Amino acid sequence: MQSQQRAFVNPLRSAEDRRLPRIADPSALVIFGVTGDLSRKKLMPAVYDLANRGLLPPGFALVGFARREWADQDFARVVHDAVQEHARTEFREEVWEQLLEGIRFVSGDFDSDEAFGRLKTTLGELDRERGTCGNHAFYLSIPPSGFEPVMRQLKRHGLAEQVPGSWHRVVIEKPFGHDLESARELDAVVSQLFKPQEVFRIDHYLGKETVQNILAMRFANQLFEPLWNNNHVSHVEITMAEDIGIAGRAGYFDGIGIARDVMQNHLLQLLALAAMEEPTNFDAAQLRTEKQKVLAAARVPADLARHTARGQYAPGWQGGKEVRGYRQEEGVPDDSRTETFAAMRVDIDNRRWAGVPFYLRTGKRMPRRVTEVALSFKRPPHLPFTATDTADLGTNALVLRIQPDEGVTLRFGAKVPGTQMEIRDVSMDFGYGGSFTESSPEAYERLILDVLLGEPPLFPLQEEVELSWRILDPVLEHWAELPEQPEQYAPGTWGPRSADEMLARDGLAWRRP
């Protein structure tokens, strides 16, 4: 049966031809914590979209594991509703019927021997009835506190034992610990059962088309690479801003903070992709090696009081509506020291980037939702114009827009039409939506498919996780020692005054996307 099922992999696709899609092996995807928002809004719709695009084989099964007392048909209805509400592609009955045949649900707690016994029985039945061939991926869409009991039960019931001709993989959602020490403890738990190549740490930002386009733009074009260094670049800003508050997530967010939630993973991964050297090829080992080299060379300045900033959004008005401050959010203590805005400077000690500061910032209740990487270039050493000719001329900039308006903007100076020599900034803009007829897959589509294919380029190894914590830990320790709470900032603004002062000390100012 196994050899017959593997025939579903496209036989026309050679290993070197990336134009034809690869179809996943027959397999079962087990989602722990399947009743959560992530599963409902992202994971279930992504599975359907993959099936709708013909990228899942007929021998595919989706197994939910949670405490709810559901039968298989109850879970199927939940999946159906999630797909209809959140799927990117159109709903097709024939695709749903095929997917429905492989949907199962197992009810129980993470420490329940009986529940994991039922899970083992269910997976065995799917191997026989659906031809999943013993290929099982375990998606831990649960808090890190649940990892150890799940791992213990998988081991006790032999669910991760290696069987010739089949594979087992585990998928871990961020956060990967809350500091370096806890990240190592978490890895020790996971590595008891799974080898490094079987562990897939999900950072959904790495699945976004525009993040991957950073690599394409840098290394497919001779135009940019000669300028991508400290001879021409003045500084780099990496921004991830949200225009909402914590949206009822106080139980998760308070005590964690936005630096741990976003900066340690998303922003430092963007920094690594923007600053890495050209890999020999795009195999996982080569990409990871270059990213690790950059992260190993990155450090925060010694004077963290001058080169970091943190804040909390205060009550006020945003978008014509009155909004609560962070400490007024349900479930947040009045004396909370958790930051909702974080900014820091990172320096990279290598030949390419020495002397070029990288500024990272992220915050909630910002004026707009935006994620971007902006390279600002140095001013020309000499301008043969009068001061009035260039009064409205800024610096050249290359902006890589990650979301929501995916694309690239190049800002440069041009002459204003007329008889006078007057130069102003203009922009050339590339937008994905206007240049390609194909719509970008949702990030979780790409990442789930890569898990099922066993392709790891977009997943950070433990070494990258530890290097990122080495960068961020000194900042978190510095903030923990401060006597005062984070500085308040008004909703709908770009953060606290201390963030502007941080760049002003270097003679710079933040971009206003």
Report pLDDT for 371.
Answer: 94
Task: Tell me the fold of 2-173.
Answer: Rossmann fold (3.40.50)
R_g over Cα of the chain: 25
Is residue 410 within a helix (H) or strand (E), and if so which, with residue range? strand 407-415
Mean pLDDT by 10 residues, the chain (513 residues): 39 43 88 91 94 92 95 95 93 94 95 95 95 94 87 92 89 87 91 90 76 84 91 96 90 90 93 94 86 97 97 95 95 95 98 97 96 91 62 79 87 74 77 67 86 83 93 97 95 97 96 89
Identify the active-site residue in 157, 178, 235, 266: 266
Cα–Cα nearest to 176, from 502, 463, 412, 396? 463
Domain ranges of the chain: 2-173, 207-380+461-504
| Structure-block tokens of residue 396 | 């050249």
Length in residues, the chain: 513
**Tens-place pLDDT, residues 61-89:** 999 999 999 999 999 999 999 999 999 99
Q: Clarify whether 266 is annotated catalytic.
A: yes
pTM value is 0.88
The one-letter amino acid code at 113 reads D
Task: Tell me the fold of 207-380+461-504.
Answer: Dihydrodipicolinate Reductase; domain 2 (3.30.360)
In 86-161, beta strands by DSSP E: 103-107, 136-140
Residue pair 374/397 in contact (Cβ under 8 Å)? The answer is yes
**Tens-place pLDDT, residues 183-217:** 999 899 888 899 988 999 888 777 777 677 888 88
In DSSP terms, 424 is beta-bridged to 392, 414
Cα 217–chain centre separation: 19
Fold: same for 2-173 and 207-380+461-504? no
- Round to whole Å and give the CA distance between 29 and 150: 15
In 242-367, beta strands by DSSP E: 298-299, 308-313, 316-318, 321-323, 341-348, 358-363
The one-letter amino acid code at 284 reads A
